[in-house]
Amino acid sequence: MPIEILMPALSPTMEEGTLAKWLVKEGDAVSSGDVIAEIETDKATMEFEAVDEGVIGKILVAEGTADVKVNTPIAMLLEDGESADDLGASPEPTPKAAPAKPAEAAAAAPPTAAPPTPTQSGDRVFASPLARRIAADKGLDLSQITGSGPRGRIVKADVEGATAQPSATPTQTAAPAAAAPAAKPVDSSAIAKMYEGRAYTELPLDGMRKTIAARLTEAKQTIPHFYLRRSVTLDPLMAFRAQLNAQLEKRGAKLSVNDFIIKACALALQQVPAANAVWAGDRILQLEPSDVAVAVAIEGGLFTPVLKDAHQKSLSTLSAEMKDLATRARDRKLAPHEYQGGSFAISNLGMMGIENFDAVINPPHGAILAVGAGLKKPVVADDGTVTVATVMSMTLSVDHRVIDGALGAELLQAIVDNLENPMAMLA
């Protein structure tokens, strides 16, 4: 029977997307792994690959269509031996839903998605012809394999790495945690009515802005933030940075203060390993590597690309990697694995002249460091004399479920020590 090609969820937060471009047309033969379309998600424009082999029988969603819900049929794929006559009454394009009224939105609760399972009809298990051939060669029981294709269909990737094994004994599934009560929705019509007679431009929310709004609302409502503040004297770091940049000039490399901050935080997470942790709902995950996320502002939103194993990388490597990630973030070319994960984040508005601020934790991270500008200020030296130094303010926002006050203070102290003794970071 013809296979439905569904709108994929190309990122964890994606609920709908724009079918930006079809790279195939009706009648084209495709194989598993072929790129067939470009999808605009809430984060980036990404390529969509076919998971089955066959012939494109019918395109259901025209390119350029926005707000296509995840798992909506977007095309029909014909298998070997099938023709357009087999399409029958194939699904029509799903019409764009009208915006729900506030009262309706409050009443409607999205169902919890169940993990895909092989779709069966009697004794039949739905699987692609190629998957069936591989399973037969390997002696696999398809009824024991969970499919990752549309509607649980078993595809090539599901059987390639599988080995023959006896049926697993069903285990009891833990009941999901109760959801937090939904906040009262904003009545957009009532807000607009307040500004009748005043000139304004209405800006519809794109996918990224919707995601930012949802995640930050969740973060402030569910994460018990507390804040720790410290100042760091930057003069030793500035002198050391100038010395290194003079030596790196021939290589075309130049280190920023932000590169030192990333390195200082990565090392601090190793020095205080209990703080290198994330909140996982019913447990805490304490990570071994220092995977540090860095906020990057882009038009209409922001990304937090993750520098993995940052504690093991040199300053010049971190600098080059950060520049590359930031450039591709602004072009919305990051892959999901490049902005997911990490246990800790850095938000630096000091380069924009902001002296200090409090950042919102990006779940499931345990903390985020807000970095202000380095300013010349009078300071009292150890001998009691007053001198001028470059002082930078930092605020550590901490998830109290993961990190207690004393542990957070220890982590921030380690960051300050690393920045005030920059040569030690190269040891």
Top pLDDT among 413 and 212 is at 413
The listed CATH number (3.90.1150.10, 2.40.50.100, 3.40.190.170, 3.40.50.1100) that belongs to domain 3-104: 2.40.50.100
User: Which class is domain 120-160?
Assistant: few secondary structures
Residue 111 has pLDDT above 60, yes or no: no
Residue 285, pLDDT score: 96
Q: 3-state DSSP call for residue 331?
A: coil
Residue 357, pLDDT score: 96
241: left (phi over 0), alpha (psi -120 to 50) or beta: alpha
Residue 115 has pLDDT above 60, yes or no: no
Top pLDDT among 221 and 13 is at 221
Residue 149 has pLDDT above 60, yes or no: yes
Residue 288 neighbours by CB distance under 10 Å: 10
Helix runs in 331-373, H state only: none
Least confident span in 83-97, 191-205, 364-378:
83-97
Q: Which among 311, 337, 365, 400 is annotated as catalytic?
A: 400
pLDDT tens digit sequence for 288-314 = 999 999 999 988 888 899 999 999 999
Q: Model-level pTM? A: 0.64
User: Which class is domain 224-426?
Assistant: alpha beta
- What does the pLDDT average to over 103-128? 48
pLDDT averaged over the chain? 83
Q: Which two tokens stand for residue 186?
A: 């904003």
User: Where does the chain hold its CATH 2.40.50.100 domain(s)?
Assistant: 3-104
Q: Are 392 and 410 in contact (CB under 8 A)?
A: no
- What does the pLDDT average to over 62-75? 88
Residue 223 has pLDDT above 60, yes or no: yes
pLDDT tens digit sequence for 159-203 = 776 765 544 444 444 445 555 555 567 788 888 889 998 999 988
Q: What is the DSSP string of 75-116?
A: EEEE-TT--GGGG-SPPPPPPPPPPPPHHHHHH--PPPPPPP
Active site residue 400: yes
- What does the pLDDT average to over 394-411? 97
Residue 13, pLDDT score: 67
Contacts of 14 (CB under 8 A, 6+ apart): 41, 42, 43, 70, 207
Residue 229, pLDDT score: 97
pLDDT tens digit sequence for 236-287 = 999 999 999 999 999 989 999 999 999 999 999 999 999 999 999 999 999 9
Residue 421 has pLDDT above 90, yes or no: yes
Share of the chain above pLDDT 70, in %: 83
Residue 27, pLDDT score: 87
- What does the pLDDT average to over 370-398? 94
Sheet of 344-348, strand order: 225-233, 386-399, 367-380, 344-348, 292-294, 306-307
Distance CA 107, CA 110 (A): 10
- What does the pLDDT average to over 21-47? 85
Listed as own residue / partner, the contacts of 215-218 with beta carbons closer than 8 Å and 24 or more positions apart are 215/13, 215/362, 215/363, 216/360, 217/183, 218/363
Residue 114 has pLDDT above 50, yes or no: no
- What does the pLDDT average to over 23-47? 85
User: Where does the chain hold its CATH 4.10.320.10 domain(s)?
Assistant: 120-160
User: Where does the chain hold its CATH 3.30.559.10 domain(s)?
Assistant: 224-426
Residue 110, pLDDT score: 44
Question: Which H helix or E strand runs over 159?
Answer: helix 156-160
